[in-house]
Chains A and B, each alone.
Chain A
Amino acid sequence: MESMAIADGLQARFPEEILQCFSFQGQVGVGIRPDRVVEILGWLRDDQAMRMDHLRSLCGVDNARRKNGGLGRFEVVYNLYSIALRHEIRIRAQLTEEDPSIDSVVSLWSGADWMERETYDLMGIRFNGHPNLRRVLLPDDWEGHPLRKEYPLRGRGEWVGITDLQAKLEELDAHGFKADDPGPEAGDAGDAATGKRKGDC
C-alpha cells in the first residue's frame, strides 16, 4: 500500500485524532494527538490491510527552535514498517511543554522498551505504563535531560560520580602514593647523570 493511502486510512478511521499530514521526498508522516496513541498504533498493527508488525524506531523531537509553527513543543516519532506487506508510515505524536507524557507502546512491540527509556533519558518524555522507565544511557543519578534545547552543551555543573572520583583521587594523593615518585633514597643511589624520572617523556 502507498504511504499516502495508509494516511488516508488513518484519517478515515480516527478523524478526530489526526492533526495534519506531512509529505516529503515520498515519505509520509501523520501528526496525531497523543491521548489515544496505543489505540491508533494497535489498529495499525492489527488491521489486516496495514499489518505494521515492525516498529523501526521510536524517538523524541524537541521543536523549541523550529520556525514553522503548528507543532507541539515535543514530539514522539514512531517509524512503522510492515515486513509482510512492505509498506511504511511515520506517526508523530504532538506533546505539550507542560505535560510531556504519552502512553507506552511496550504492550504492542516489546522492542519499544529501551527506545522509550532512551527517549525518557535524553528528552525527558515520560511514558505512562512503561514497565521499567529508568535511564538507559546516562548514569541513574544524572540531573536533567541533555537533548532538550535549553540544556547547555557542557551541562550544568559536574556529575556527582566525577566529583566523587576526584575526591577519592585526592585522598589517595594525601597518602603520598604516587607511582611517579622515585622515593627519597633513589636520589642518592641513582645515577646523577640521568637524575629523576619525572618529566622525562
Chain B
Amino acid sequence: MGEVTVPSMVRLEEGVRWIPGANALLGPLNKLVNWGRAGSIWPVTFGLACCAIEMMDAGASTNDLDRFGILFRASPRQGDCLVVAGTVSKKMAPVLRRVYDQMPEPRYVLAMGSCACSGGVFDTYAVTQGVDQIMPVDVYVPGCPPRPEALMEGFIKLQEKILKEQFRWSQWR
C-alpha cells in the first residue's frame, strides 16, 4: 500500500490518447471539431439539371448518403455544404451566390458535373463558365453527369479536407 500507480495512456491515433479508468480522451480540439463536422455534412441541394437526378440517386436507398451522416437540407440556413448540381445559367448566378451568402460558416461548396465545374459543353452566351467564378469551390466532381459513386467520392474528399483543417472553429479563423 502507499504506492500510487499512474495509468499509462493508450495511444488511439496520431495525437489522441485514452486514459484508462478516467473515462477521458486527451487530444487537440481541432481533431474533435473536425471529426464532428466531417461526420455530419448537411448539404443544401441546388439541383439545376440532370446532375440533380444522380444526386437524388446518391441519397436514395441503394447508395445511401445517410450512412456518411449526409442529410440533405432544403434551407441554406441549415446547410454546411452547397452541392451545385447542374448547369448554372447567368440568370441563376446571382441567385446561387445569394444562397451561398445565406449559409453560416463553416461552409463548403461541391461543384457536381462538368457544367458546374467549367460550363461543360455549354460555352454559350447564357451559361456561367464554372461556378468557381462566383464562389470558392472545395471539391470538383467531373462527369456528365457523375455517377452516384463519383459524388460519394467527392463527399469523401470533402471529409478528408475537413479533417485537415486547423482552428476553423475559433475566432482566429
- Measured CB to CB, the residues of A under 8 A from B are 138-139, 146, 151-155, 159, 161-162, 164-166, 169, 178-180, 182-186, 189-191, 194, 196-197, 200-201
Interface size class of B (residues with CB under 8 A): 20 to 34
Q: Which residue of the partner chain, among B106, B128, B172, contacts A183 with CB atoms under 8 Å?
A: B172
CA gap between A200 and B161 in the complex, in Å: 7
Are A162 and B93 touching (Cβ within 8 A)? Answer: yes
Residues on the B chain within 8 Å of A196, using CB: 166
Residues on the A chain within 8 Å of B134, using CB: 165-166, 169
Known interface pairs A153-B125, A161-B91, A183-B167; A201-B136 also in contact (CB < 8 Å): no
CA gap between A183 and B169 in the complex, in Å: 12
Given contact pairs A164-B94, A182-B168, enumerate 7 new A-B contacts (beta carbons under 8 Å): A138-B126, A153-B125, A166-B134, A179-B105, A182-B173, A194-B164, A196-B166
CA gap between A138 and B138 in the complex, in Å: 30
A169 nearest CB neighbor, chain B only: B134
CA gap between A166 and B135 in the complex, in Å: 10
Interface check B84, CB cutoff 8 A: no
Shortest beta-carbon distance from B129 to chain A in Å: 10
Are A186 and B173 touching (Cβ within 8 A)? Answer: yes
CA gap between A201 and B110 in the complex, in Å: 12
Are B125 and A155 touching (Cβ within 8 A)? Answer: yes
Interface check B152, CB cutoff 8 A: no
B140 nearest CB neighbor, chain A only: A201
Shortest beta-carbon distance from B1 to chain A in Å: 43
B94 nearest CB neighbor, chain A only: A165
Are B107 and A179 touching (Cβ within 8 A)? Answer: yes
Known interface pairs A161-B91, A165-B97, A185-B172; A201-B123 also in contact (CB < 8 Å): no
A190 nearest CB neighbor, chain B only: B166
CA gap between A151 and B124 in the complex, in Å: 11
CA gap between A33 and B149 in the complex, in Å: 57
CA gap between A118 and B36 in the complex, in Å: 49
Interface check B165, CB cutoff 8 A: yes
Known interface pairs A191-B166, A194-B164, A201-B161; A183-B123 also in contact (CB < 8 Å): no
